[in-house]
Chain A
Amino acid sequence: MGQIEWAMWANEQALASGLILITGGIVATAGRFTQWYFGAYSIVAGVFVCLLEYPRGKRKKGSTMERWGQKYMTSVVKLFGPLTRNYYVRAVLHLLLSVPAGFLLATILGTACLAIASGIYLLRQVPPAHRGKRTLNQTQCVCGVKCAVLSVCAFHVCKWSSASRLIDLIPSSCQALFWAVALLHHMPP
């Protein structure tokens, strides 16, 4: 189990989630659901995630099959340096991107799928030696749990509310950012 490269699977999942977000967003915007602007957000977030995840990362061992035409996107993604190279950042970014889409029925599946992809990216960062012995770094575990609890809380806070309550999102987002920084602080150099 320790030799499995989870990042590759997380990459496929994130790409598929992006497509699901786009589809859900189109259904929501075209059907003019109430709060359809979440649908519009979902389309934009979906396109962004797809573009970010299109280049397939290089494997540790063995040859990597490149996706068709991925070299154009790779040069753009490389411009952001460590922000896009680091999988922690990607995990947190995906988690944050997925939360707003969870408020609308049409895009809720995109949220779930992107959250799973984010979880796999996080899991990948656990060092293989620890995984082999079936123990987890406690700090990473706690941070991961905090992020998950946070996203569930944010979802419940705004769950059945209308647009005016959007302002409640701000403190939750600040908390999310704070914990994200705390998480990054613990990442190995």
Chain B
Amino acid sequence: MLSAVTGLGSIESTVAKNLPVVSIHQLGLCLSRASASVLNLNCSLILLPMCRILLAYLRGSQKVPSRRTRRLLDKSRTFHITCGVTICIFSGVHVAAHLVNALNFSVNYSEDFVELNAARYRNEDPRKLLFTTVPGLTGVCMVVVLFLMITASTYAIRVSNYDIFWYTHNLFFVFYMLLMLHVSGGLLKYQTNLDTHPPGCINLNRTSSQNISLPEYFSEHFHEPFPEEFSKPEEFTQNTFVKICMEEPRFQANFPQTWLWISGPLCLYCAERLYRYIRSNKPVTIISVISHPSDVMEIRMVKENFKARPGQYIILHCPSVSALENHPFTLTMCPTETKATFGVHLKIVGDWTERFRDILLPPSSQDSEILPFIQSRNYPKLYIDGPFGSPFEESLNYEVSLCVAGGIGVTPFASILNTLLDDWKPYKLRRLYFIWVCRDIQSFHWFADLLCMLHNKFWQENRPDYVNIRLYLSQTDGIQKIIGEKYHALNSRLFIGRPRWKLLFDEIAKYNRGKTVGVFCCGPNSLSKTLHKLSNQNNSYGTRFEYNKESFS
């Protein structure tokens, strides 16, 4: 990325320096052209990581067999942010260079080549140039839009007020429209009749005052040895014959390169949005809504032609709750060939989920038992968009996987466990270490049944070491706790206190010597950082830990 940026910048700068007419511009032109070409590249690349359906397709298709390439897809958000920061920096350079250019255009108005001027007369106020020309006005508007987008995209705003970030970021479409207009101004021109009016030719009809540079030119030719700045001496000798201009120079505006750069990704992105809109237009049918302890709600639904892989997530949109907001949730149960039902678990945090829960489970019925079929007639319309890929899909492609969940972060692994319950043989996975850390003992009830069923299944099939479950209760008030009487298998695997990660990693390394273990974590940032650090450390058993990172917000 950095090398592409540097390369483009230097190419454009060199091209600009070799332009024959340097009376109007000097450094300003080089800088603005160089930064413009870098901006071209970044504005086209920045859209690509946001084509999520395309990325999900690439992740799941056989066309990307290498795990390393798939891991690159995990970094798509980071790539998008890098492009954004680059656009910000180079826009600053571009604007500063053009401000200097505007001044130069007005002060160094060229009477020889009137068509090349952007100013209409000498010493035209540069502010007029800025606000009354198409490139100037669109440029100012683009800077304002970029300013709004960038100030709302900082980490602090995304974490605290995601709405501001989301609504302002949708201004990108305005930015692109302005960009297309910005380059259509036709300011940069090239000469169409180079053969009849080569650079440096003498116009016999011109007055002597405009030929001031000619005597110096002649003296350089005939009296001095080759100056150092000419890099091609053989071309120089060809030019010693003085040419006479046959006709006036004619200029034509350059074709806007930017259109070529951004049209591809923009069309791709628009096509994807259209596809997502059409696909998500049909609402889902909610089968049941189940209330779980610790403020968690499960929704089971069906939709025609909906296919998803374990670990993927969907975006829910409920117009009765909010017309504009939509929120992502990981699938906890994927549709299979035999069963078309899929489900999500939602933790009630924030106003959207609270309102959603109040609509689906009216407060009067939240504590009592209400049969689902009475409710089904009153369920609001729910639309889903997706499914979109995530790094957790990769856990079935490692021979040994370590999955660590913190609280509600267990949801992506729940879909993996559901898939293994269905059929484990088609996948490469042969051993799964599942560690779940919760603050409250009631939270384990969300998937206690699933874990017990899975444990029993592998015992029956004589593969007891396939899934190794460890549950940790991080906060305790000293009273001995158990999950429930019927969950024997889980109670014996319940530990009080936080896990000791170093010991766990050593144990896993010892029992899986020389293998590559995929590490997946879905939980608080501090947990993620600890595991990432431990995964990168060497161990004496030759086991390699590959950390797969998911990024939220």
List chain A positions with a Cβ less than 8 A from chain B. 1, 3-6, 8-9, 12-13, 16-17, 20, 23, 27, 31, 33, 56, 59, 62, 64-65, 105-106, 108-109, 112-113, 116, 159-160
User: In this complex, which of B96, B102, B140 has the most chain A Cβ atoms within 10 angstroms of its Cβ?
Assistant: B96
- CB of A105 within 8 A of CB of B154, answer no
Interface of A is mostly: helix
A59: which B residues are within 8 A, CB to CB? 160
Q: Give B119-169 interface residues, CB cut-off 8 Å to A.
A: 125-127, 130, 140, 143-144, 147-148, 150-152, 154-157, 159-161, 163-164
CB of B95 within 8 Å of the partner chain: yes
If A5-B160, A23-B92, A65-B159 touch, whether A105 touches B151 (CB-CB below 8 Å) is no
- CA A112 to CA B127, docked complex, whole Å: 14
CB of B99 within 8 Å of the partner chain: yes
Contact residue among A13, A62, A105, A113 (Cβ-Cβ distance under 8 Å from B130): A105
- CB of A16 within 8 A of CB of B147, answer yes
- CB of A8 within 8 A of CB of B144, answer no
With A9-B151, A105-B103, A105-B130 given, name 19 new contacts (CB 8 A): A1-B163, A4-B161, A4-B164, A8-B156, A12-B156, A13-B151, A16-B150, A16-B151, A17-B147, A23-B96, A27-B100, A31-B103, A56-B156, A65-B155, A65-B160, A106-B96, A106-B99, A108-B127, A116-B148
B159: which A residues are within 8 A, CB to CB? 65
Select from chain B the residue with minimum beta-carbon distance to A1.
B163
B99: which A residues are within 8 A, CB to CB? 27, 105-106
A20: which B residues are within 8 A, CB to CB? 147
B351: which A residues are within 8 A, CB to CB? 3
Q: Rank and list the top 5 A-B pairs by shortest CB-CB distance, nearest first.
A: A12-B151, A13-B151, A65-B156, A105-B126, A105-B127
A13: which B residues are within 8 A, CB to CB? 147-148, 151
Interface of B is mostly: helix
- CB of B152 within 8 A of CB of A108, answer no
- CB of A116 within 8 A of CB of B160, answer no
- CA A13 to CA B164, docked complex, whole Å: 12
B102: which A residues are within 8 A, CB to CB? 105
- CA A23 to CA B164, docked complex, whole Å: 26
B103: which A residues are within 8 A, CB to CB? 31, 33, 105
- CA A4 to CA B160, docked complex, whole Å: 9
- CA A164 to CA B157, docked complex, whole Å: 45
- CB of A4 within 8 A of CB of B163, answer yes
- CB of A109 within 8 A of CB of B160, answer no
- CB of B147 within 8 A of CB of A8, answer no
Select from chain A the residue with minimum beta-carbon distance to B96.
A27
B96: which A residues are within 8 A, CB to CB? 23, 27, 106
B143: which A residues are within 8 A, CB to CB? 109, 112
B140: which A residues are within 8 A, CB to CB? 108-109, 112
Min CB distance A128 to B, Å, is 13
Min CB distance A103 to B, Å, is 9
Min CB distance B349 to A, Å, is 11
- CA A149 to CA B41, docked complex, whole Å: 40
Select from chain A the residue with minimum beta-carbon distance to B324.
A1
Contact residue among A3, A6, A105, A112 (Cβ-Cβ distance under 8 Å from B144): A112
If A9-B151, A105-B127 touch, whether A31 touches B164 (CB-CB below 8 Å) is no
- CB of A113 within 8 A of CB of B144, answer yes
